[in-house]
Amino acid sequence: MARTMTELHCHILPGIDDGAKDIECSLALLREEKKQGVESIVFTPHFNIDKISVEDFVKARNNAYQKLSENEEFKKMNFSTKLASEVYFSVSLDKANLDDLCFGSSDYILIEFPFHFKPHGLTYMIDNVINRGYTPIIAHVERYDYVSKDPTILYDLVERGCLAHVNAEVLIRDSSKSSLPFKYIKWGLVHFICSDCHSIEKRPPNIEQGYSIIRKKLGEDYFDMLTGNAERVFNGKRIDLSEIKKPRNFFGSWI
């Protein structure tokens, strides 16, 4: 594959969340990322402001990264890396300084929503975060029941200034072009894919398989656009959000 891959959502840092439990698990995931053609990685351990302060989380995350960065094999892999987090939705985010949770020194911040109910205050929190100069990236939009039932929720979030991604896994599991994740991509509502890898056994790095399916089903232009977007986000650059389509319900299916 000519283009290098960029991983913007993963749980590779050792011993900090439900991802890699130690350095060995981290290295196994990193070896697989390498095999998949990934050269740039943003480390995004889970963060929940209702359970831990930003300061304590950042301390723990930086310690986990420090351990990894002292490892000789990791050094030789020569990845470009950035630190960030996968921030769980909370209305309390409105008063917190989120700078240290963003992708490196950029304003991109990965945000995860509850899976089964649309949280109260969703647009308030998103507007608040955007108005403070951050750009939210909505994590794995295919996992939210209420978005699958009503994709105009996703449209509204992107229109407000959010980016969004799907996990590669959903494209691998259902590679039918008529499934919603492919439609999100075609509507301009999903901007790249991530592996969200946690472990080699259960949730491995699979970004190359995901992008291969995009190439096959949607063509080279979409592949270039999505991988290019991921690269731009990694480098803290803006991406083009001009072409978005509002989903319409036509006799029970979203078009």
Positive or negative, the Cα torsion across 43, 66, 77, 35? negative
Instruction: Give the binding site for Fe ion (CB under 5 A).
Output: 86, 196
Residue 65 Cβ vs Fe ion, minimum distance, rounded to whole Å: 17
Nearer to Fe ion, 45 or 247 (CB): 45
DSSP assignment, residue 10? B
Residue 198 Cβ vs Fe ion, minimum distance, rounded to whole Å: 7
Query: Percent helix, strand, coil in the chain (nearest 5)?
Result: 45, 15, 40
Residue 168 Cβ vs Fe ion, minimum distance, rounded to whole Å: 12
Q: Compute, in degrees rounded to 10, the torsion defined by CA atoms 47, 109, 230, 164.
A: 90
Nearer to Fe ion, 169 or 196 (CB): 196
Positive or negative, the Cα torsion across 61, 82, 182, 123? positive
DSSP, collapsed to helix, strand or coil, labels residue 112 as strand
Nearer to Fe ion, 142 or 196 (CB): 196
Nearer to Fe ion, 14 or 247 (CB): 14
Chain residue at closest Cβ approach to Fe ion: 196
Nearer to Fe ion, 47 or 223 (CB): 47
Nearer to Fe ion, 18 or 70 (CB): 18
CA 125, distance to chain mean position in Å, is 19
In sequence order, what are the beta bridge partners of 47? 87
Half-sphere exposure of 132 toward its Cβ, with a 13 Å CA cutoff? 16
Residue 251 Cβ vs Fe ion, minimum distance, rounded to whole Å: 35
In sequence order, what are the beta bridge partners of 71? none
**Alpha-carbon span 116 to 142, nearest angstrom:** 12
Contact 241, 160 (CB under 8 A): no
Task: Count other C-beta atoms under 10 Å from residue 220's C-beta.
Answer: 9
